[in-house]
Structure 1
Amino acid sequence: MSEHDALLVDLDGTVYRGPDAIEGAVETLEALRATATVSYVTNNASRGPDEVAGHLRDLGLTLDTDAVVTSAQAGAAVVAEQVEAGAKVLVVGTEALAEEIRLVGLEPVRAEDDAPVAVVQGHSPDTGWRILAEAALALNRGAVWVACNVDPTLPNERGLLPGNGSMVAVLRTACAREPMVAGKPAAPLLAQAIARVGAQRPLVVGDRLDTDIAGAHSVDAESLLVLTGVSTAAGLLAAPAGQRPTYLGADLRVLTGDLAATAVADGDTGGFTARREGGELVLEGDGDDTTAALRALCRAAWASGEEWTGVRADGTPAEKMISALGLDPA
């Protein structure tokens, strides 16, 4: 972390899964507080920053509420830039999102009959047809539309659940419109987090290529992908340039070691090398670090613009790595 003055850490799938901390996350983040500012930046708009901070403290983390930046806050800020002070905003989401709308000087409402000039949409496990219908009426009348995030899924301890992006898709289909997006991968949420701590060299950390890592690219920041949540080895190998991380680790514990060794472009590959043979990626070498083997495969996969069609092992150690990474031939 010597090259970075702030850590912008995702939550779902990175620090915790469901209510429980991921192994090593709390100890790592507590250790890093001595050398860098640690902020928690979440696309989940269902809870207020005070509730999120309370959950993190219950897990054993030390932080002030200001260390939490949510997509609800970013969404409210984006709405406030689009409408006049005091304007009515239809809220599709929790009361925490409604409170953020109040805090930026706007009036939250829940019905189209109240003539809202904007719609703000964030995740809520209670979102149903009736509030989506109210939002559709407002959007078809021309209201401004801001989505706190467009994550299609939300990880928890049971698996992947529908995220806010899946609910956004309902209104996209019904209204043939596209929302402005406040959360990752769009820039507003991370830009707000960076500005709050005055960071010059932030490191964005998360488990999703399409939100956390793409979001880092949107604010020209370096990034670390951890394999504790949504994105997989296969997804990483196929990632377009705008979703490729600077660093790769199994989990947050890589932050207390030699971070440079985890750089995908020129970090440690643990004795493994990879090459292309036709459309295949071929891994060879010997070692026991799956993320090191994955870094070697990434270099081969990203070396040209051509798509790869499969992954093959040259030798038993490489075969074990491919299996551990879930890259076995179908």
Structure 2
Amino acid sequence: MKADRPGTDQPGDLPRLLLNWYDRHRRVLPWRAAPGEKADPYRVWLSEIMLQQTTVATVGPYFQAFLARWPGIADLAAAELDDVLRAWAGLGYYARARNLHKCAVTVADRHGGHFPDSEEGLLSLPGIGTYTAAAILAIAFDKPATAMDGNVERVMARLHAVRDPLPGSKPVLKAHAAALVPETRPGDYTQALFDLGASICVPRKPRCILCPWADPCRARRQGIAEELPAKTAKAAKPVRRALAFVLTDGRGHVALRRRPEKGLLGGMMEVPTTPWETAPLPSLPAAAGHVPLPGIGWQALPGLVRHTFTHFEFEIGVVAGRTAGTEEKGPGLIWVAPDALADEALPTVMMKILRHALTRMA
């Protein structure tokens, strides 16, 4: 069945119905302005960057911690990048943190500490794409804009019974969404749509009986709401493998090093590893050229560490070594006490490696 054209058979009061529902059921979120208050562009931007590929429940504590430490754009712009990376550790997708800092510096230096209130101006800033620009325009500046995230795609696919699968149906879904954005209260409408997708029009077992759009929803009427949006089957993710070398010294300090500035996990701290490759896991003798400190005894630990990235699965064998000295030199090594590891900009995968090793080296 072909999807209906945008604007066809549209009840004119859909935005009103949704806003009435939102006024009664809006979520209370740490970055959201209270009813009647003006939204803070800094908070809106910070939350939108953090929420990319991350859940609301996860973001909440990070957002509060960032705001307490850097309450305004000028504060964040003046921060050291390493401090921002440390505060971000655990949120993943670390290029976001680097762009976050770069964007803050740009807004402070080139825009007088104020975010642009145009799509063109927002898109010129580091780390801000089409979705984020639209969300900031709508929520922070109350301008009509079409912010399409996964929640909105799901709501539009069901409302209009769009059976064509994602990602190919994205342009049609965006056209449907754009046709509904009201001139009045577009910021509240955008947040209402987010809330509808997050709490009512959920992926499994949508709560249609509570939905303000239940009557006009074509997927509900056709009994196919839970089947939408359809998605093209994803290819299996490739698997990359590496050996990680967990080295401790005579005081129990752990050797870390900094990753290159560009690329995956750029600028973050890491446990030294072999190159991440799709080949089988290398043996310890074959990896001898990559050990961070030659000439000491290295021992493979039982088990593997597994971690999922966006585009690949990662399997890590862990090798442990001890040096009797303290802070022995090695190329680029930084020695950190175990109780100070939480203060380093360590990605989640590296914390997994360290937990795996330190519980088996005791």
Would the TM-score normalized by the shorter structure come out above 0.5?
no
Higher strand share: 1
Q: Could you say which TM-score interval applies, normalised by the shorter chain? A: under 0.3
